[in-house]
């Protein structure tokens, strides 16, 4: 079965290519009768237009690029669903690109996007990203970009974030109220703004409750699960070990619980735990995990909606603006 193009279709119909094209696009220039004939024959011959040919002429790809560190993370997979739900209504496709937390990958991907592969970009930067020239280049090239969750402050565009400062503040205060006074904070990156804001919220809560922050309770985790496990274990073995812990990222849940089990620490009696996490299974952990749950689906949806606003209105441009959606502190047994 040969693939059928618009020329074949026109030939079959004894019409010109342009008429067929207009009929397929429901142009006012074409009579109802002809439109129906064309549509019918197109269906019969199983004609599917080549999107790249359309892109080329129309100078738009009908694709948006979604650049994220990882797909095996419930925040991102839920956000993808949110993004996809709006892209679908707009007739757009979603091109998901993974950086695997590598700056070099991120740069390469954004560079490629400048060739016209996508019409706009949603980005959550990698942990390695400390400078944003590659992002500014993209924008200078005319591609609208909206950050979601992990943003770069130096870039003049909109971002959808959650109240990282406040939720870390809330979580810390919650632990303090639960009588924890040596609270550790597990960070994922020194450069990521969300990580820093969460850290600041944590520090502010300590300060407001007259607890002195201690550098030894602030741990920089890496992208390596085994190494994180060792770091956490070490943290929990030192003298004056923490009796509270706040993990700023979901993937630390497993090493934390594993370390507690291996060290036979009682949760929440000896150690109270809060994680930034969207894991559905938080409820069935034992003890069930207190989480700060981000509105992942909503954030994806909102980011995409904003991006489309920029794509559809040529005179609407994305300015530096922070759309903040609240996360929820869901108290469960691990901090009881």
Binding site for DNA (CB under 7 A): 3, 5-7, 14-19, 21-22, 24-25, 29-31, 33-34, 47-50, 53-54, 56-59, 115-116
* Strands 145-148 and 120-123, sheet pairing: parallel
What's the min distance (Å) between Cβ of 12 and DNA?
Answer: 12
Whole-angstrom CA distances from 93 to 116, 284, 336 are 14, 35, 44
Instruction: Mark residues 67-86: x for contact with its own copies by CB under 8 A, - for none.
Output: ----xx-x--xx-xx--x--
What's the min distance (Å) between Cβ of 289 and its own copies?
Answer: 10
Q: Choose, by CB under 8 A, the member of 18, 27, 141, 237 that binds its own copies.
A: 141
- Tokens for 125? 């930067």
What's the min distance (Å) between Cβ of 232 and its own copies?
Answer: 13
Residue 283 contact partner, candidates its own copies, DNA, none, CB within 5 to 8 A by sort of partner: its own copies
Q: Does residue number 8 form part of the binding site for its own copies (CB under 8 A)?
A: no
The CA-CA-CA angle for residues 229, 176, 206, to 5°, reads 85
Q: Does residue number 116 form part of the binding site for its own copies (CB under 8 A)?
A: yes
Q: Does residue number 44 form part of the binding site for its own copies (CB under 8 A)?
A: no
Q: Return the closest-CA partner of residue 87 out of 303, 267, 323, 316.
A: 303
Residue 302 contacts residue 325 (beta carbons within 8 Å): yes
User: Following DSSP, what letter does each residue of 9-74 receive, concatenated?
Assistant: HHHHHT--HHHHHHHHTT-TTS-HHHHHHHHHHHHHTT----HHHHHHHHT--SEEEEEES-SSSH
Our CB check for its own copies shows the closer of 260 and 307 to be 260
Q: Choose, by CB under 8 A, the member of 25, 36, 50, 317 that binds its own copies.
A: 50
Can you tell me whether residue 231 is helix, strand or coil? helix
Whole-angstrom CA distances from 204 to 111, 207, 331 are 39, 5, 21
Our CB check for its own copies shows the closer of 202 and 257 to be 257
Specify which residues 268 forms β-bridges with.
none
Q: Does residue number 290 form part of the binding site for its own copies (CB under 8 A)?
A: no
Radius of gyration of the CA atoms of the chain, in A: 25
Q: Which chain residues interact with its own copies by CB under 8 A?
A: 1, 3, 46, 48-53, 55-56, 61, 71-72, 74, 77-78, 80-81, 84, 93-98, 111-112, 114-117, 137, 140-142, 253-254, 257-258, 261, 279-281, 283-286
């Amino acid at each position: 079965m040969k693939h059928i193009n618009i020329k074949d279709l026109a030939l079959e119909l004894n019409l010109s290519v342009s008429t067929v094209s207009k009929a397929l696009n429901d142009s006012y220039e074409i009579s109802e009768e002809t439109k129906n004939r064309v549509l019918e024959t197109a269906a019969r011959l199983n004609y599917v237009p080549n999107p790249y040919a359309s892109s080329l002429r129309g100078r738009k790809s009908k694709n948006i690029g979604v650049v994220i560190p990882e797909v095996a993370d419930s925040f991102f997979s839920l956000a993808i669903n949110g993004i996809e739900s709006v892209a679908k209504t707009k007739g757009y496709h979603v091109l998901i690109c993974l950086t695997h937390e590598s700056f070099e990958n991120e740069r390469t991907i954004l560079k490629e996007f400048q060739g016209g592969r996508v019409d706009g970009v949603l980005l959550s930067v990698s942990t390695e990203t400390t400078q944003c020239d590659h992002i500014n280049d993209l924008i200078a090239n005319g591609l609208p970009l909206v950050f979601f969750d992990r943003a770069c402050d130096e870039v003049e565009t909109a971002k959808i974030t959650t109240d990282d400062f406040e939720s870390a503040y809330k979580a810390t205060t919650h632990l303090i109220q639960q009588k924890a006074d040596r609270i550790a904070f597990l960070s994922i990156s020194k450069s990521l703004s969300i990580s820093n804001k969460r850290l600041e919220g944590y520090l502010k809560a300590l300060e407001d409750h007259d607890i002195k922050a201690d550098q030894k309770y602030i741990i920089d985790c890496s992208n390596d699960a085994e190494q994180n496990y060792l770091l956490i274990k070490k943290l929990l073995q030192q003298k004056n070990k923490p009796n509270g812990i706040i993990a700023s990222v979901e993937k630390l849940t497993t090493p934390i619980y594993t370390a507690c089990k291996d060290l036979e620490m009682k949760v929440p009696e000896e150690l109270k735990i809060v994680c930034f996490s969207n894991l559905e299974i938080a409820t069935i952990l034992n003890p069930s995990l207190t989480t700060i749950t981000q509105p992942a689906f909503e954030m994806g949806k909102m980011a995409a909606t904003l991006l489309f606003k920029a794509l559809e209105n040529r005179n609407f441009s994305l300015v530096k603006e922070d759309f903040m959606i609240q996360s929820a502190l869901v108290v469960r047994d691990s901090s009881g």
